[in-house]
Amino acid sequence: MKATITFLCFTLIAFSQPALALVLQYQSKVVILSQQELVENSNITHEMYGPFRRQTVIYEGYNLSQFLQLHLQVDAKTVVIDAIDGYKMTLKNIDSRPLMLVLKEDGRPLSIREHGPSRVIETDLGGKDVRNISLFDDWIWMIKKIEVVDG
């Protein structure tokens, strides 16, 4: 009986895992990119102190504005980001902010446990006190969808 319950638990966990893909949307245009494709094609690297890791981290991914321009052909100003856990956040003025879509840290693809499979960070801390993580509320984790609402 115990083995059957354990098997059922593992089966439910396996089927409840979100698909590792990122959905991009602008009006009626929808683009779905696999996590593997995103990781393999990431095109920028940025090394900086990671306030949530409390150490210097090498981030790999994309400039968020350029990434949306490439895939949706829009100069995005405002986006709504949906996370796997149901969190939703609106980011404004993304065209004038140093935002990065991160897929890897220190050479390793992000897992959900590491706040992946993708996340948005600010690449310029702007003098923020890195000990006060509440100042980093525009760092969004576990992203599953980015919708451009103002382009």
> 43-94, pLDDT tens digit by residue?
999 897 776 677 788 999 999 999 999 999 999 999 999 999 999 999 999 9
Contact 47, 58 (CB under 8 A): yes
55, with CB counted inside 10 A (0-12, 13-18, 19+), is: exposed
Any idea what the Cα angle at residue 130 is, between residues 126 and 134, rounded to 5°?
95
pLDDT at 50: 72
**Structure tokens, 2:** 């115990």
Whether this prediction's pTM lies above 0.95 is answered by: no
For residue 37, the surrounding DSSP H or E stretch is helix 35-41
Superfamily (CATH) of domain 21-150? Oxidoreductase, molybdopterin-binding domain (3.90.420.10)
| Euclidean distance between CA atoms 105 and 99, whole angstroms | 16
β-bridge mates for residue 31, sequence order? 24
| Euclidean distance between CA atoms 14 and 94, whole angstroms | 35
